[in-house]
């Protein structure tokens, strides 16, 4: 009986994990918990590691659940706002390309330079825009949270 209960608990946790991040196959706990300071990952690597589970490998999100980062009017209106999203998370109701999102994005643990890299990957490579951000922008957001 005891074993059965803990199996149920385990299944509940797995189900929760699946619900909150539809794409769990890329998520290895080892990967998540390893310190990355020395790894010097590219913006794309950082995206795949920290963002793709929700916003999807193709950066197009899941309509109504995880907003798109590619061709997102919200993101492109001011990419500096994404710094705040990443550092502090985001849970207010927003509208992206006319679709309402009322979800929860947890704060993502990254160094300042990793924030710059991942945002500029989205700006330049994914959206072909020139609104790149820099380290001073990250510092400014930290001073004015
Ligand atoms: C656990 C899921 C999850 C992860 C991981 C995640 N996000 Fe989000 N993100 C969300 C949700 C949900 C929202 C919408 C929040 C709301 O409704 O206010 C969002 C909103 C955003 C927005 C503003 C909306 C838009 O589409 O322009 C940006 C920018 C963003 N995320 C970037 C990122 C970046 C960059 C990463 C990785 C460093 C990341 N997110 C990681 C779930 C996630």
> CATH number, domain at 129?
1.10.760.10
* Contact criterion met (CB below 8 Å) for 107 and 86: yes
How large is the average pLDDT for residues 117-123?
Answer: 98
Q: Is the pLDDT of residue 48 over 50?
A: yes
How far does the centroid of ligand 1 lie from the alpha carbon of residue 5, in Å? 35
Ligand 1 pocket test, pick from 44, 60, 90, 99 with the greatest ligand atom count within 8 Å of Cβ, gives 90
d(CA 55, CA 68): 6
Q: Is residue 73 part of a domain?
A: yes
Q: Which residue CA neighbors atom 32 of ligand 1 most closely? A: 82
Residue 116 lies in a domain: yes
Domain, as residue range, for 114 = 43-143
Per the structure block, which two tokens stand in for 131?
A: 């609104």
User: If you compute the radius of gyration of the chain from its CA atoms, what whole number of angstroms results?
Assistant: 17
Residue 85 has pLDDT above 70, yes or no: yes
Query: Torsion angle, CA of 59/106/100/133, rounded to 10 degrees?
Result: -60
Categorize the per-residue pLDDT at 43 as very low, low, confident or very high, splitting at 50, 70 and 90: very high
Tell me the mean pLDDT in the region 100-125: 97
Ligand 1 binding pocket includes 62 (Cβ within 6 Å): no
Cβ-contact 123, 77 below 8 angstroms: no
Return the minimum-mean-pLDDT range out of 22-26, 58-62, 79-83, 125-129. 22-26
Q: For a ligand 1 pocket test, name from 46, 54, 65 the mutation site with the most ligand atoms within 8 angstroms of its C-beta.
A: 54
**Can you read off the two tokens belonging to residue 60?**
């197009």
Task: Please give the tally of structural domains in the chain.
Answer: 1
pLDDT tens for 12-24 read 544 445 445 444 5
What ligand 1 atom has the least distance to the C-alpha of 68?
26
Residue 89 in domain: yes
- Report the nearest atom of ligand 1 relative to the CA of 53: 5
């Amino acid at each position: 009986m005891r074993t059965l209960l803990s199996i149920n608990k385990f299944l509940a946790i797995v189900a929760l994990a699946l619900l909150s991040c539809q794409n769990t196959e890329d998520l290895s706990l080892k990967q998540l918990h390893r310190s990355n300071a020395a790894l010097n990952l590219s913006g794309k690597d950082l995206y795949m590691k920290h963002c793709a589970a929700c916003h999807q490998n193709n950066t197009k999100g899941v309509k109504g659940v995880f907003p798109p980062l590619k061709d997102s009017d919200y993101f492109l209106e001011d990419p500096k706002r994404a710094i705040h999203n990443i550092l502090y998370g985001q849970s207010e109701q927003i509208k992206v390309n006319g679709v309402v999102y009322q979800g929860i994005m947890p704060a993502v643990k990254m160094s300042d330079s990793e924030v710059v890299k991942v945002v500029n990957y989205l700006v330049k490579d994914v959206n072909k825009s020139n609104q790149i951000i820099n380290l001073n922008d990250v510092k400014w957001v930290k001073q004015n949270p």
